[in-house]
């Protein structure tokens, strides 16, 4: 027996805004709401599939420093440069966390400053069959 990652939780000031933004980035939907405190987003197929969902949890605690865990994303229907332009157009900003100049990924931050990386390799979109 083993465990499986089913959800990732990200504290944020504005879960609604973050949910809208990450749904646009990942082509996901809102799956569940827990009052005004948290919003779960994920693939249209819902919780429990091959991909962990993302819970955006309301927090007024200020973030301190670089996130100890971050998300990596890969383009699915365009190359890395085109996806970078799309993400920047949605409000991502390039971030410097001390990465070298010759890395193959881009370090970005979402509208609340949470770092994530855009990797080079293009992946096929997930297909869900049950």
Q: Domain coordinates of the chain in residue numbers?
A: 1-60, 70-122
Domain spanning 70-122, CATH class: alpha beta
Question: Which distant-in-sequence residues (6+ apart) come within 8 Å of 68 by Cβ?
Answer: none
Task: Please tell me the pTM assigned to this model.
Answer: 0.87
Distance CA(49)–CA(6), nearest Å, equals: 8
pLDDT value, residue 127: 65
Distance CA(130)–CA(120), nearest Å, equals: 30
CB atoms within 10 A of CB 5: 8
Residue stretches of the chain with pLDDT short of 70: 127-130
SS3 assignment, position 9: strand
- Looking only at the bridges linking them, the beta strands covering 115-118 and 106-109 are antiparallel
Eight-class DSSP state of 10: E
pLDDT value, residue 128: 57
Q: What percent of the chain has pLDDT over 70?
A: 97
Q: 1-60, what's its fold?
A: 3.30.720
């Amino acid at each position: 027996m083993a465990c499986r990652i089913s959800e990732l939780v990200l504290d944020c000031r504005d879960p609604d805004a973050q949910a809208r933004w990450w749904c646009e980035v990942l082509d996901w939907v809102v799956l569940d709401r827990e009052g005004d405190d948290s919003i779960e987003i994920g693939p249209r197929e819902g919780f429990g599939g091959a991909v962990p969902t993302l819970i955006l949890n309301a927090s007024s605690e200020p973030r301190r420093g670089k996130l100890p865990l971050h998300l990596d994303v890969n383009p699915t229907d365009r190359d890395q440069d085109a996806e970078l332009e799309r993400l920047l157009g949605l409000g991502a900003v390039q971030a410097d966390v001390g990465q070298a100049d010759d890395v193959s990924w881009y370090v970005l931050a979402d509208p609340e400053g949470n770092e994530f990386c855009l990797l080079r390799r293009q992946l096929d979109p997930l297909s869900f069959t049950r």
